[in-house]
C-alpha cells in the first residue's frame, strides 16, 4: 500500500491516505507517519469506524499514553480516552497547547470525531514554528533563553470569572500546584525548527521581567501567533482522526454550534521535556 501525504495548506496540515491504522503499523509506515507529523504538524486521516481499542493502539505506537488532568474519560479501563462531549459541557474554545504545565507536556494528541454538529465545530491550528520564524530578528533575540510559568489553575481561574468554575474548584486547582517553568522558545528534536511555546490558556507570565513587560510581550506574541497566515482550519468529516504535534502547534475548537451535539474521543502521548 502506498502512503499518500497531501498538504492541506503551505504552512501546516496534511491529509494521509493509504495507511491502515486499524492494525499495528510496520516500522517504515510508523516512521513515515512520525516524519509527516514533524513536518506537517497536523495530520488528517479518514478513519470512519475506528474502534476505541484501535485508537488507543495507534497512539501507543508513538509513546506512553496519559490520563488527562481534568477532562472526563470513558471510565474504568479506558481512563486514557478523554471524552469531549458538548452535552457534558466539555469543549476547548480557547487557544492552547495541551497541558503545557506538565513537566513532560504531551508530544502528540489523537482526536477522533464521533458525533458532529450539522455544521460548525471546526478546529483551528496555528503553527508555532511558522509563528517563530515570522518574528523580527530583534524579537527572536529578546526571547532567547527566556522561560515562562505555565499553570493549570489559570484555566480554572478564567472559568471562575465567567461562571464555569466554582471558588472551591479554583482553590483545589491552586492546591494541586500544577505549575511548570518552560522555555519560551523550543526546538523540535527531529527537524531542529524553533517554535514559540507560550499560550493564553496556561501561561501565567514570563519569568524575570516586570509584570507589565511580561503582559505586554505575551499580548504581542498571542496576537502574532494567531495570524491567519500561520493557521489551518479543519472542517471535520464524520470519523476523521486528527493527530497533532502538541509542542509545536496550538489549537482552538470553535464553539459555534449551540444546541447541537459534538463528541470527540481524544488520546494523548507524553513527550519529553521541551528542548530550549
Ligand X SMILES: O=C(O)CCC(=O)C(=O)O
Q: Which residues are catalytic?
A: 96, 98, 251, 266
CA-CA-CA-CA torsion for 135, 223, 98, 165, nearest 10 degrees? 160
How far apart (Å, rounded) are the C-alpha atoms in residues 95 and 128? 12
Burial (CB < 10 A; 0-12, 13-18, 19+), residue 263, is middle
Report in angstroms how near the CB of residue 61 gets to ligand X at its nearest.
20
Which residues, 45 to 84, sit near ligand X by CB under 6 A?
Answer: 84
By CB under 6 A, residue 107 contacts ligand X:
no
Cell of 238: 464524520
Q: Which of 80, 98, 151, 240 binds ligand X (CB under 6 A)?
A: 98
Cα–Cα dist 234/133, whole Å = 23
CB of 111 to ligand X, least distance (A): 6
Which position among 37, 47, 264, 269 is part of the footprint of ligand X (CB under 6 A)? 264
7-46 residues in contact with ligand X (CB under 6 A) are: none
By beta-carbon proximity to ligand X, the closer residue of 117 and 134 is 117
Q: Does 248 bind ligand X (CB under 6 A)?
A: no
DSSP string, 135-203: S-HHHHHHHTT-EEEEETHHHHHHHHHTTSS-HHHHHHHHHHT-EEEEESEEE-TTT--EEE---TTTE
Q: Residue 84 or residue 269: which is nearer to ligand X going by CB?
A: 84
Query: Does residue 253 touch ligand X according to CB under 6 A?
Result: yes
| Residue from 21, 214, 251, 269 binding ligand X (CB under 6 A) | 251
Q: CB of residue 96 vs ligand X: minimum separation in angstroms?
A: 7
Q: Which is nearer to ligand X, 170 or 255 (CB)?
A: 255
H-helix or E-strand spanning residue 114: strand 106-115
Ordered alpha helix ranges (H), the chain: 27-40, 52-60, 128-133, 137-143, 153-161, 167-176, 211-225
β-pairing, 14-17 with 42-46? parallel
**The three grid cell numbers given for residue 191, joined into one nine-digit string:** 527537524
Residue nearest to ligand X (CB): 92
Contact with ligand X (CB under 6 A) among 107, 154, 180, 266? 266
Say if residues 171 and 115 touch (Cβ distance below 8 Å).
Answer: no
Nearest distance, CB of residue 81 and ligand X, angstroms: 12
Binding of ligand X by 240 (CB under 6 A) = no
Least spacing, CB of residue 251 vs ligand X, in Å: 5
Nearer to ligand X, 19 or 253 (CB): 253
Task: Enumerate binding residues for ligand X (CB under 6 A).
Answer: 84, 92, 98, 109, 111, 123, 251, 253, 264, 266
Amino acid at each position: 500500500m502506498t502512503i499518500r501525504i497531501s498538504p492541506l495548506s503551505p504552512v501546516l496540515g496534511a491529509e494521509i491516505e493509504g495507511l491502515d491504522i486499524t492494525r499495528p503499523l510496520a516500522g517504515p509506515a510508523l516512521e513515515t507517519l512520525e516524519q509527516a507529523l514533524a513536518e506537517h504538524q497536523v495530520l488528517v486521516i479518514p478513519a470512519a469506524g475506528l474502534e476505541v481499542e484501535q485508537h488507543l493502539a495507534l497512539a501507543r505506537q508513538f509513546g506512553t499514553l496519559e490520563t488527562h488532568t481534568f477532562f472526563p474519560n470513558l471510565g474504568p479501563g479506558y481512563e486514557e480516552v478523554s471524552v469531549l462531549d458538548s452535552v457534558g459541557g466539555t469543549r476547548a474554545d480557547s487557544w492552547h497547547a495541551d497541558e503545557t504545565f506538565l513537566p513532560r507536556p504531551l508530544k502528540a494528541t489523537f482526536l477522533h470525531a464521533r458525533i458532529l454538529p450539522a455544521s460548525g465545530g471546526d478546529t483551528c491550528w496555528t503553527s508555532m514554528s511558522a509563528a517563530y520564524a515570522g518574528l523580527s530578528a530583534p524579537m527572536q533575540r529578546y526571547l532567547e533563553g527566556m522561560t515562562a510559568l505555565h499553570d493549570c489553575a489559570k484555566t480554572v481561574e478564567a472559568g471562575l470569572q465567567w461562571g464555569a468554575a466554582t471558588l472551591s474548584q479554583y482553590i483545589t486547582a491552586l492546591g494541586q500546584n500544577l505549575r511548570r517553568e518552560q522555555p519560551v522558545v523550543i526546538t523540535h528534536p527531529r527537524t531542529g525548527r524553533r517554535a514559540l511555546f507560550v499560550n493564553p490558556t496556561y501561561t501565567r507570565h514570563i519569568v524575570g521581567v516586570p509584570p507589565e513587560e511580561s503582559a505586554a510581550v505575551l499580548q504581542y506574541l498571542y496576537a502574532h501567533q494567531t495570524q491567519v497566515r500561520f493557521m489551518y482550519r479543519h472542517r471535520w468529516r464524520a470519523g476523521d482522526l486528527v493527530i497533532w504535534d502538541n509542542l509545536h502547534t496550538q489549537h482552538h475548537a470553535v464553539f459555534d454550534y449551540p444546541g447541537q451535539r459534538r463528541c470527540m474521543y481524544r488520546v494523548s502521548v507524553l513527550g519529553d521535556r521541551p528542548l530550549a
